[in-house]
Structure 1
Amino acid sequence: MRNLSERISLKFVLFVGLAILLTYVPFIGNYVRIVNTLVHETGHALIALIGGDVHQISLFMNTEGVTYTSHSSWVGGFFTGGAGYVASSLMAFLAFWLISRKRYNILIVILVGLILLNVVLWVRNFYGIFWLLSFGAGFLLLLFKGSSTLVQNCLLLIASILLVESVSSAFTIQMLSFIQPHSAGDATGLARSTVFIPVQAWGVILFAQSLLFVWFGFKKGIYRID
């Protein structure tokens, strides 16, 4: 128990709990959850650029997103298909790592950079543009006008949402891979790419990697927030 308290603070638990509750609030819940969708779809896009093209990204009010890409090889399509959930897990880990080291401005710059990248290059649907501009404006206000306490608390909430969503969305895909294997999103796409590896296996792998990042964060003590 002592070892647990040395690696996870009460503040971390409170903010993760708040993030879970917030995701169930009508409208607001979906609005804040799209930050994970942004990271997920950007992960697909960045990997697709290695030997391929990104045509467009759409972000939707129901928290779903889609990235339209093309690839010159099977390898490019395979890695692009698996990049979304890994990007979400990695971003959640990076967010808490930066917060634990009080590198708040760096985290804001990274998030604003992702938003600008999508506004300029990829997102073209109305709600996607609205979300990017409104969320980006909030981050800029934090960067230039926010007090240190407000900045830390807001970023902790964003990081907690990223963490909760990275795990819960991967869990959902795992469940869908067993219940609706032909409609399990990235797991279905990966199964089609690999043929001999079933969709259920990919569902388990995608969920397992999200838990691995959480475990790694626990081992590194990044959830011990002062």
Structure 2
Amino acid sequence: MEATTFGDVWQEAFSVQTPPPTWLVIAVGVAALIVVVVRGPWRVARNVVTIAHEGGHAVVALLSGRQLTGIRLHSDTSGVTVSRGKPRGPGMILTVAAGYITPSIVGLLAILLLVNNRITALLWMSILVLAAMLLLIRNVYGVVSVVGTGAVVFLVSWFTPAEIQAAFAYFFTWFLLLAGIRPVFELQAQRSRQPSPQSDADQLHRLTGLPGVVWVLFFGVVNVAVTATGIWLLMF
């Protein structure tokens, strides 16, 4: 980014950029799919999914009138968002249900910026969201994870040419869009191997009476539908 004053930065961040060629959009989409599918890269990249997952819990908790206590992110890519309020009711149900569908939904929202060629705006809005989330983090690993992710986005947005920014923004968006599906399969596999009353699906079972597997199916259907919509918007 060549801007030097705040006004220049603001104007450049929200200006319209030249869209990348279709081959590049497809290429970074394939790269994102590889990261999601291959175990090694996925174990590292899944930390970003956890940030989005817990961020979803946090945003919906606030919107439903609950009081946020804090967020903890762990090195095994699990996380916990703690909020205060009624232990039952629509607000609690929505808060718990938000986590697994948030990454794909964030990816779809990012696509709405990309199809309008607001590439730099997407990167800077991501930094602002991560900065806001950082205020709620309550453990060291969580701070490192959020700061590290934000630092990568900042370095790309500030020091790289427009072509690299576009490739990164589309890769980041593809990844979030596609990465929402795999954790749902992991959730059900974990529930089959070692049932946990603390999983989102099982918490929702206690809150609503619907079986946990119904909630797993709900997460999967929503994420597949959102992903299909995002692919259509990107490619057609």
What range is the shorter-chain TM-score in?
0.7 to 0.9
* 1:14 and 2:30 matched: no
Contact residue 174 and residue 206 of structure 1 kept, 8 A: no
Query: Residue in 2 aligned with 1:32?
Result: 45
Query: Residue in 2 aligned with 1:215?
Result: 228
SS in 2 for 1:222: helix
Query: Residue in 1 aligned with 2:108?
Result: 93
SS in 1 for 2:235: coil
* 1:52 and 2:70 matched: no
Query: Residue in 1 aligned with 2:121?
Result: 106
Provide the C-alpha distance between the structure 1 equivalents of 2:42 and 2:231, rounded to a whole number of angstroms.
26
- Deviation, structure 1 residue 206: 0.8
Contact residue 105 and residue 177 of structure 2 kept, 8 A: no
- Deviation, structure 1 residue 38: 1.0
How many residues of Structure 1 are paired with residues of Structure 2 in the alignment? 212
Change (3 A) 1:218 1:29: closer
- Write the letter of the residue equivalent to 1:16: G
Range moving further from structure 2, 147-156 or 56-65: 56-65
Provide the C-alpha distance between the structure 2 equivalents of 1:82 and 1:209, rounded to a whole number of angstroms.
11
Change (3 A) 1:143 1:11: closer
Range moving further from structure 2, 40-49 or 128-137: 128-137
* 1:151 and 2:165 matched: yes
When normalised by structure 2's length, the TM-score is: 0.80
Change (3 A) 1:170 1:13: farther
- Deviation, structure 1 residue 99: 2.1
When normalised by structure 1's length, the TM-score is: 0.83
Provide the C-alpha distance between the structure 1 equivalents of 2:123 and 2:101, rounded to a whole number of angstroms.
20
How large is the Cα RMSD of the aligned pairs?
2.3
Structure 1 residue ranges without an equivalent (≥5): 1-8
Change (3 A) 1:42 1:222: same
Contact residue 89 and residue 210 of structure 1 kept, 8 A: yes
- Write the letter of the residue equivalent to 1:203: V
- Deviation, structure 1 residue 88: 1.5
- Deviation, structure 1 residue 30: 3.2
Change (3 A) 1:104 1:37: same
SS in 1 for 2:203: helix
Contact residue 24 and residue 167 of structure 2 kept, 8 A: no
Query: Residue in 2 aligned with 1:139?
Result: 153
Provide the C-alpha distance between the structure 1 equivalents of 2:39 and 2:82, rounded to a whole number of angstroms.
30
Change (3 A) 1:12 1:172: farther
Provide the C-alpha distance between the structure 2 equivalents of 1:100 and 1:33, rounded to a whole number of angstroms.
25
Which portions of structure 1, spanning 4 or more consecutive aligned residues, are displaced by more than 6 angstroms?
none
Q: Percent identity?
A: 24
- Write the letter of the residue equivalent to 2:165: V
* 1:41 and 2:42 matched: no
- Deviation, structure 1 residue 166: 0.6
Change (3 A) 1:149 1:37: same
- Deviation, structure 1 residue 55: 1.1
Change (3 A) 1:66 1:165: same
- Deviation, structure 1 residue 177: 5.1
Query: Residue in 1 aligned with 2:213?
Result: 200
